[in-house]
A and B are shown apart, each in its own frame.
Chain A
Amino acid sequence: MAALHTWSGLLLGWLLFAIFLTGTMSYYRPEISQWMRPELHRTANTADIAALSAMQYLRQTGLGASRWLIDLPGTRGSATHVALWRDHGAPRFQRVMLDAASGQPARVRDTHGGDFFYYFHFDLQMPGAVGRIIVGVAAMAMLVAIISGVITHRRIFADFFTFRPGKAQRSWLDAHNATAVLALPYHLMITYTGLLTLMFLYLPWGLDRAYANDRAAFQAEASRGIAPPPPAGVPAPLIDLAPLLVQAEARWQGAAVGRINIYRPGDANARIELIAADDDHVSHYRGRMVFDGVSSALLETDDNLSWPAATERAMYGLHLGRFGGPALRGLFFASGLAGSAMVATGLVLWLVARRRKGAVHFGLHLVGRLNIAAIAGLLVAVAVFFWANRLLPLQLADRADREGLCFFMSWAFTLLHAALRPEVKAWREQFWTAAALFMLLPVLNALTTGHHLLVSLPAGDWSMAGIDLGLLGSGLLCGALALYLQRRSGA
């Protein structure tokens, strides 16, 4: 039982580091996506212009569809994502990325962009719900560890972190405690709200008991969406979107529209649903208005949302962290990095404490090697993903997935490297590799696109310049860690 506990704890630790790091990166998902699509026209567009041009595109290409969806770029991107569903005819489902200004399909490289890390942080890029369930278990264990750490002051941790005072562990423990405690409220918040984002996958029982299999009814009653009426079968022209946008933005006191759902366009029972962008308020998916798509009558709003529903929306929004502007986002990012560091130092501490007791066996060797690949190796793999984005040929088939393949292949390679090299050297070499890869990325960006720092900085293009600078900073951090390890080992 104790062995199971120890090993599952380690396994979760490796997972949690990957979840924390890629999740932290996801605060800048729109900027990373922009960086990875340098072909996009980098113009600031108002939500209205993007919405109307997307609408024009859908009116030309989406006739006969049962639903249109428009996800607007917001203030941090310049691509509009549209999707449409058909009850009859092909294709049943279609997704297109539009240039926000022109409303025409964007001619950009095939990449998952920041979405790759965003999805990885909760589904590990595994098929079906497997990854999401594994992440849920890890998050639950994290929640228990945090709360028990606070209440009982390392009651559970007593087993994990028993150690005798000594310089090396002392410093690891200090680092672990500092990163854990400094950002403690953040860790508690991000873990709990993270579980809530997938709560009906983990705990469907209440929903199923109250609604049987009619989840659409729940969505409608909780004001999370609409249950559109069946098609009337009578054609009727869809109203113009512009006046609705004016009406919505007046009601939302200036907040811009973020998402538009159009059900049954061209039918007498058409519905138009507008949802405000997340930037202006904590809550996710708040500010909903549903219009009749023919008469333009306002049918529904979420003004009188019940407190449980409003609380849940706010907790969801807290996890996404799309509100509050650059300063708060920076603070969340720093807290997320502290969380990643907390997990990483915990993993190292576990090993140091056991070795200190004089334990030498194959299991500890294995843990030592896996620690290297899970921490330093992941950093190398992240950097490789950015390299692959710039270097893979643009015409390559399945290019976006090949970028992901580069990520996983390089991660596997770091494990091989960690297994073959002496442990101390493997740490150092992987951190140096990550440092070099990260620091050279702005150079690679300059060589392969016209958006290097000397262009993007004066132009105020923060998605390009910010990511370039962030990559540079990541490289410096990895370099500092490599130097620190080098000094300590006295080589």
Chain B
Amino acid sequence: MTIAGSYLLGMLWTLAVVDWWPGSRADAVLVGTVSAFAVSAGTAIWAFAAISLRRMLVGFALAVAMLGTLVLTGR
């Protein structure tokens, strides 16, 4: 579950950056993809470090909703 969640968030992050990066599209792809691994790692750490399962899921859902909105409204 942690693996799927961190991958999903990394993927959404990449797409959101590609859509909203103000510079060229090549830069957007590079910035989004290079930083996504940090986002994925951060998600996994969040999952392990969260005090309760509820807090973890709420935090995760918020991040998915935010990035998801950016991706849906982008491009």
Contacts and interface: CB of A to CB of B under 8 A. Distances in A.
A205 interface: yes
A221 B24 contact: yes
A308 B17 contact: no
Interface string A213-224: 000001001100
Contact of B48 (A156, A192, A195, A207): A156
Contact of A312 (B3, B19, B34, B37): B34
B26 A222 contact: yes
B30 A140 contact: no
B23 A308 contact: yes
A200 B33 contact: yes
Interface stretch (A141-149, A245-253, A286-294, A329-337): A141-149
Interface of A: 137, 140, 143-144, 147-148, 151-152, 155-156, 192, 195-196, 199-200, 203, 205-207, 209-211, 218, 221-222, 306, 308-309, 311-312, 315
Contact of B11 (A156, A199, A205): A205
Contact of A195 (B18, B27, B37): B37
Nearest to B74: A209
Given A200-B33, A206-B33, A221 B41 contact: no
Interface string B37-62: 11011101100110000000000000
B37 A222 contact: no
Given A196-B34, A221-B24, A206 B49 contact: no
B41 A203 contact: no
B45 A209 contact: no
Nearest to B75: A209
Given A148-B45, A203-B33, 6 more contacts: A140-B6, A140-B41, A199-B34, A209-B15, A210-B25, A211-B29
- Chain B contact residues, majority secondary structure: helix
A291 B11 CA distance: 38
B33 A315 contact: no
Of the candidates A211, A308, A311, the one having the most CB atoms from chain B within 10 angstroms of its own CB is: A308
Contacts, number: 93
Nearest to B14: A206
Given A196-B37, A199-B37, A308-B23, A155 B29 contact: no
Contacts of A156: 48
A206 B17 CA distance: 8
B28 A144 contact: no
Contacts of A192: 37-38
Contacts of B45: 144, 147-148, 151-152
Contacts of B27: 222, 306, 308-309
- Chain A contact residues, majority secondary structure: helix
A308 B26 CA distance: 9
A57 B50 CA distance: 63
A312 B36 CA distance: 13
Given A140-B37, A143-B41, A144-B41, A205 B14 contact: yes
A221 B30 CA distance: 11
A144 B45 CA distance: 7
A210 B31 CA distance: 13
A63 to B, nearest CB: 35
26 contacts: A137-B3, A140-B40, A140-B44, A143-B37, A144-B45, A147-B45, A148-B45, A151-B49, A156-B48, A192-B38, A199-B34, A199-B37, A203-B10, A203-B36, A205-B14, A206-B15, A206-B18, A209-B15, A210-B29, A211-B29, A221-B26, A222-B30, A306-B23, A306-B24, A308-B34, A312-B30
Given A143-B41, A195-B37, A210-B18, A221 B31 contact: no
Of the candidates A143, A144, A151, the one having the most CB atoms from chain B within 10 angstroms of its own CB is: A144
B74 to A, nearest CB: 9
B37 A218 contact: no
Contacts of A207: 29, 33
Q: What are the 9 closest A-B residue pairs judged by CB atoms, nearest first?
A: A206-B14, A221-B26, A222-B26, A308-B27, A206-B18, A206-B32, A308-B30, A210-B25, A144-B44
Of the candidates B11, B15, B25, B41, the one having the most CB atoms from chain A within 10 angstroms of its own CB is: B41
B43 to A, nearest CB: 9
A211 B75 CA distance: 13
A300 to B, nearest CB: 14
Contacts of A199: 33-34, 36-37
B57 to A, nearest CB: 16
Contacts of B44: 140, 144, 148
A222 B24 CA distance: 9
Given A192-B37, A221-B24, A308-B27, A203 B11 contact: yes
